[in-house]
Amino acid sequence: MQTQVGIVGSGPAGLLLSHLLHKNGIETVILEHRDRTYVEGRIRAGVLEQGAVDLITDVGVGDRIAAEGLTHEGFDIALNGNRKRVDLAGLTGGKVVTVYGQTEVTRDLIDARLGAGGTIIFDAENVVPKHFDSENPQLSFKHMGDRQQLNCDFIAGCDGFHGVCRESFPAGTISCYERVYPFAWLGVLVEASPPSDELIYCRDERGFALFSMRSTTVSRSYLQCVPDEDLNEWSDDRVFGELQRRLGDTATVNEGKVLEKSLTAMRSFVAEPLRSGRLFLAGDAGHIVPPTGAKGLNLAASDVYYLANALIAYYRSGDETLLDAYSATALKRIWKAQRFSAWMTMLLHNLGGDSFEDRIRLAELEYVLSSEAALTSLAENYVGLPF
């Protein structure tokens, strides 16, 4: 098999990159080790920055986002039961975020790629990037029992944190920076309306909680818990009771059918550089953020923006300037998003102690909620820094 850009991974990063390149006449093949049903069923976060929405819309895949996405001009932060609204639009000159599940983004992009005649090979097993230090990279993989080979000009590693592409960098050529947090999120997807029209972030003596939504009739909520929490010990009644206790009496948690319970580990991770020869990393393959700041999918979109522009410039004129600058350019925005995500995470979670640092974090949150300058900085980062 032959193509111009071989893409490993059919998450939003790989799919969006493929469709952007397709719109500019560049051929791609996507290799995905899972089946289509699994990929389209993965439940992930769904707060989109305006830049991500614009990028998806520009490639002609924004119809459902426009019709079904929930535009949010702000969100609330509750500190021990007292709520303060962060006016995103008012503090940023009209910028907003859109609530639209990553699952739906993935489905829209798969439909768009296949509808345009794109090639996605699901159930591609044992993918191995080869010869990416030369001008003739290859992707070896097994499909339907047969070992196959995809020849390409470039490889885009969009295969997530546990993927093969980052692990394929030669030893000693990549540095990894990581922070693992001493807590996790217990998440529940519930067939019930959310307690508010906008997100509520809560810091309470019992721990952090987040009240989000997938639609006006499906809520998505999270509780701070220990990393090795046993989900079997959390009955539906216990979950709803704890959500209400952390929210306080400022709103009512609506109960309903629990569609999913999950445990989300919390880590910050960055790999540098994002390039080895003609192999480029994008999305979770190169970085992970704690979900507090809602940056995961949005960082994947900005990586794709930079990488697509670089590849388009190369195929149009042979200019490799943007390809050479890709890693450094993407990492500048990645580290700013990492700073914001780590800051929000530590600010809003209760570490269960009464140390000097705990008191400082509480004082900082109280300051942020009382200062227009601090709220403006929070809002600017939340709606997304410019590409």
How far is it, in rounded angstroms, from Cα 104 to Cα 297? 12
How far is it, in rounded angstroms, from Cα 383 to Cα 42? 24
**Beta strand 82-86 with 75-79: parallel, antiparallel or unpaired?**
antiparallel
Identify the H or E element spanning 369: helix 356-370
What are the φ/ψ torsions at residue 275 (nearest 5 degrees)? -145, 140
Residue among 302, 380, 283 nearest 53 (CA)? 302
How far is it, in rounded angstroms, from Cα 101 to Cα 303? 19
Residue among 13, 7, 70 nearest 297 (CA)? 13
Q: What are the strands of the beta sheet with 82-86, ordered from one edge? A: 82-86, 75-79, 200-204, 207-213, 219-225, 175-191, 257-272, 287-288
Please answer whether residues 286 and 303 qualify as being in contact, where contact means their C-beta atoms are separated by less than 8 angstroms.
yes
- Tokens encoding 374: 């601090």
How far is it, in rounded angstroms, from Cα 334 to Cα 215? 29
Task: Please list the active-site residues.
Answer: 72, 201, 291, 295, 382
How far is it, in rounded angstroms, from Cα 50 to Cα 55? 9
Q: What are the strands of the beta sheet with 154-157, ordered from one edge? A: 119-121, 28-31, 5-8, 154-157, 279-281, 275-276
Q: Where are the beta strands (DSSP E) in the chain?
A: 5-8, 28-31, 47-49, 70-72, 75-79, 82-86, 97-99, 119-121, 125-130, 138-143, 146-151, 154-157, 175-191, 200-204, 207-213, 219-225, 257-272, 275-276, 279-281, 287-288
How far is it, in rounded angstroms, from Cα 276 to Cα 165? 10
How far is it, in rounded angstroms, from Cα 294 to Cα 281? 20
